[in-house]
Structure 1
Amino acid sequence: MRDTDPLESGRKKSPRALTLEERLLWLEMLESDEQAVKRDLPDLSRFMMATGVRIGEALAVYWEDVDFEAGTVAVNYTVIRAKGVGLIRKSTKTEAGERTLPLPNWALDMLKRRHATTSFPNGPIFPNALGGLRDPSNTRRDLRKARGGEEFAWVTSHVFRKTAATILDEAGLTPRLVADQLGHARPSMTQDVYFARKAIDKRAAEALEDVLKRPDQDEPDEDAD
């Protein structure tokens, strides 16, 4: 019994991330949706793709956590609903979850624009209508309503996290660096759960070019006719 493998319940789906074209179409769709704009979904989507944070972490970021001069954001909390209390900020799951993330310039510019026009400069960067904490569950529901028909039916808030992880992976960052970005203690989890795979990369063929090359086989003489 000890040496037997568990039965597979079905074929496990590989992580799926938004392609560049899909990212642009997603934002274009949200920007043209009056209700999505009212619920602040375009900038929230941008922020999650720029950082790879969980939706509860994104909603827990206060303006005091953003360092405009350094171009970073501190992610130390997540939003939860506590019984008998309501929405609160609590520390992230683990020590690895507490992290300071560098922001791409376009995301930093977006936050500067928001900060210049916000009515709640001491509150969350993505507040509710009264300037307080926003409910992650309700925000997930807003995203489901906004995603439209079949084209984006598969998109959830976690897809933005997988998208950021996949972009960093494709850029050549080590699994350890990507895990630090996502707040994972183990890079293996990042690789197994968050990297979209099946990419066609010519570098694989180039690396295998000499797999059957004989040791005494010389390179062709470029000067020979």
Structure 2
Amino acid sequence: MKSISGCPMRFESLKVFFKIVRNESYFKIQIITLESLDIFEAALREEKIDYSKHFSSMIKKSESLSLILRDSDICLPGPGKYVLFSNTRHREFVQIVFIPTLEEKLSIVGDKYIVQAYKYKNINELLKIASKEESRIESHFGSGLDYFESVIMLVVSSKSKFKEILSSSREMDSKLGNSFFLQMKLNGLVDKLLVVRNGDRYRVNTSKSVLRHIGKRIGYDADSVV
């Protein structure tokens, strides 16, 4: 795992942590961070630290580092190399705060669009790549709908009750004034997870950008549908 400059990542906020792990036989360290466990584990792998994961209710003796995920009170089986991943302070562990830099996090993510962005020199180029990928996804969602489904999606973006949806859909296309036909189409959108149903109420499960793309395909302005 390398930085934009090609140098290996060092995770500066974990410098003391890695020094302890490599030089001490026994320790109890708690990692405090706003990052996900995946990010921290990626840092361990990058530094080639062998470890095993345990819930605090099932900690076993291990010669390698034991990464503890808390689900109960902690009872250690004996001296060892213990790392608690939790933001709730434990008085028996030494706290170390993990705050990776943006560059470190980008190197960890591993998403091909992020990796491709390393060759660019500023965040604007990265945002352009993200925007292009977002547009591709929006196009995919919108192009998978027929005309009537598209109309219903636009209506449901502003109406929630079935009677309201029926009335507004009829105004946009008379064929959608048939309650049976409308219900069939709504059920199909629910099955596709594009609409969520809660009793007699419905709501769209897509972004505003997707709705705008849907509206554009059928000649409507999604923002003006009321």
Larger Rg: 2
- Say yes or no: TM over 0.5: no
Q: Which has the higher contact order (CA 8 A, sep 6+)?
A: 1
* Higher strand proportion (structure 1 or 2): 2
Q: TM-score, normalised by structure 1?
A: 0.23
* Higher helix proportion (structure 1 or 2): 2
